[in-house]
Amino acid sequence: MQGLASEAVHSVSSLEYKRGYRLEGRSFRFAVIGAGMAGILAGIKLLESGRRNFLIYEKADRIGGTWRENTYPGLTCDVPSHHYTYSFERNPEWTRQLPPGPEIQAYFERVCAKYDLFRYIRFGEEVEQAHFEQGHWTLLMKGGTETKVDVVIAATGVLHHPNMPQIDGMGSFRGDLFHSSSWDHSIELSDKRIGIIGNGSTGVQIVAALSGRVQHVSHFQRTAQWIMPVKNGFYSEEDKARFRADPAAITEVMETSKYRAGVEGYSQVITGQDSEGARYFRDACLHNLESNVHNPSLREQLRPDHEPLCKRLIFSPDYYAAIQLPGASLVTEGIEHVEEGGIRTADGVLHELDIIVFASGYHADAFMRPMQVWGRDGVSLADFWMRRPRAYLAISMPDFPNFFMLNGPNGPVGNFSLIEIAEHQWCYISQLLARLEQGDCLEIAPSQSRFKEFEAERIAAAKTTIWYTGGCKSWYLDADGIPASWPWSFERFVREMSEPDWRAFGLDEPSTREGQRVE
């Protein structure tokens, strides 16, 4: 395994392993899968704790994950800039209150360089298979190479397998057709008629960015979405100079923003439609629609038939203005098929187009798949996830020991900062790693009984959330219609991540050594 630290790595013989010997001085090898936001975090935290016996495997040729893949016009994160950074590496250079995609990518690249992380990343290395046997994980790469490690950290992300719907006639279109995550920047857009299919955050951002800049934008809407108003002002050079000189100024901006209140309100909406938070979001979204869409007919076309936050809430400062420009139109008729000249809808109208863009999202249930994983005694991840992706506290799974996920199944997603989510999860994972390295166990994974209890509790709670009761379909729902996201408050998530319930892993509380609690 090239690039790993030169310390001796002691293997566990089958006899030692079966006897459960504690191997003092064992040097653990770690593999991180993915060099996006979470993989970068894992690498930095491993280095920070003195662990240098690791590699990060990245299938692409650059870091960044979704921010590497997505480069479409208008790409912006809807989490405020200063909240979308690592807590240990604030960024004084943001230009906008909502961070533009290229700046996010540049931020991650700067962080990797600062922490000397590139030396630990192996680009063009896609993990195809992972097998657990006798205390080790064997990883098989797409190119045929193989390596053994003790611990796997899957940081493969959530939104990275594009969902490309198949519509009759797509092959006959004589213009350009692509998914939003594969934007073709070689195309001159100013004289083009562009059709955008999909009206989630991506579709809304593209329409807002292109309206008024191209000949015409047609936005094909299947289901109207609630849109939360948000400001996206600029940070001046004076602001950035102040942030560079005084990091406390960034903290002040974060504390005075409405983000924390929004997180609390979001939790209230999820768990109670009659809460103060629910009323706040409902009133704000409704006022945004009523006040900013002036044509009564268009306003009704844009009016959703479900409760706000039943789907992932869209934050936009300019979509309603953009869709009302002379060079933009909203299309609500269903798509019949694609033909040479454009898209024909169910009412018989041909919408003539030069470019068709699918802003149709991702397969959010894929996670590390199509990678094949076999755990203890040959248990297959494909079988374990046959009904739905699932994990104990979104991090670990029974029979898959020493295998941990960042932003895994059933964790908080939606309108949270996934950087903050991943940092809380690392706090939890780091405590599991400590128990392994101290020799308290050779394998660590939740018990089947505790996992089943947790899963039953999660599903019961999910059926009380607005995602289940709010009257809509969304990518939050699994194949059985059960919301797949964290169904409790954000406060509970933070509390759960602060310290594992060691009984779930068949362990006693950590011992105290030299008067200090082991973390």
Checking if the pLDDT of 18 tops 60, the result is no
Q: Kindly state the tokens that stand for 316.
A: 């936009």
Checking if the pLDDT of 231 tops 70, the result is yes
DSSP annotation of 214 reads S
**Per-residue 3-state assignment (H helix, E strand, C coil) for 312-354:** CCEECCCHHHHHCCCCEEEECCCEEEEECCEEEECCCCEEECC
Please tell me the predicted confidence (pLDDT) of residue 513: 43
8-22, 357-371, 390-404: which has the minimum mean pLDDT? 8-22
End-to-end CA distance of the chain: give it in Å, rounded.
29
CB 432 within 8 A of CB 396: yes
Q: Kindly state the tokens that stand for 417.
A: 């900062």
- In CATH terms, the fold of domain 23-59+124-161+363-445 is FAD/NAD(P)-binding domain (3.50.50)
Average pLDDT, the chain: 90
Cα separation, 320 vs 315, in Å, equals 11
303-317, 372-386, 398-412, 442-456: which has the minimum mean pLDDT? 303-317
Nearest one of 33, 316, 8, 3 to 160, comparing CA atoms: 33
Helix (H, G, I), strand (E, B) or coil at 246: coil
Nearest one of 286, 233, 258, 299 to 415, comparing CA atoms: 258
Name 67's Cβ contacts closer than 8 Å, sequence gap at least 6.
36, 37, 101, 104, 105, 108
Please tell me the predicted confidence (pLDDT) of residue 53: 96
Please tell me the predicted confidence (pLDDT) of residue 15: 31
Please tell me the predicted confidence (pLDDT) of residue 26: 61
Q: How does pLDDT run across 158-217, given as a tens digit for each residue?
A: 877 888 999 999 999 999 999 999 999 999 999 999 999 999 999 999 999 999 999 999
Please tell me the predicted confidence (pLDDT) of residue 85: 97
- In CATH terms, the fold of domain 170-358 is FAD/NAD(P)-binding domain (3.50.50)
Per-domain residue ranges of the chain: 23-59+124-161+363-445, 170-358
| Confidence grade of residue 273 (pLDDT, cut at 50, 70, 90) | low
Please tell me the predicted confidence (pLDDT) of residue 286: 96
Checking if the pLDDT of 25 tops 70, the result is no
Checking if the pLDDT of 6 tops 50, the result is no
Cα separation, 499 vs 502, in Å, equals 9
Residue carrying the six token digits 């939790």: 267
Mean pLDDT of 24-51: 91
Mean pLDDT of 37-65: 97
Mean pLDDT of 336-353: 98
How much is the pTM? 0.92
Q: Kindly state the tokens that stand for 269.
A: 């909406």
Whether 170-358 and 23-59+124-161+363-445 are alike in CATH topology: the answer is yes
**Per-residue 3-state assignment (H helix, E strand, C coil) for 36-103:** CHHHHHHHHHHHHCCCCCEEEEECCCCCCCHHHHCCCCCCECCCCHHHCCCCCCCCCCCCECCCEHHH
Q: How does pLDDT run across 76-96, given as a tens digit for each residue?
A: 999 999 999 999 999 999 999
| Confidence grade of residue 260 (pLDDT, cut at 50, 70, 90) | confident
Mean pLDDT of 486-506: 95
Cα separation, 364 vs 162, in Å, equals 9
Q: How does pLDDT run across 116-165, given as a tens digit for each residue?
A: 999 999 999 999 999 999 899 999 999 999 999 999 999 998 877 888 99
Please tell me the predicted confidence (pLDDT) of residue 420: 96
Cα separation values, 221 from 302, 323, 345, Å: 9, 12, 12
Identity of residue 390? R
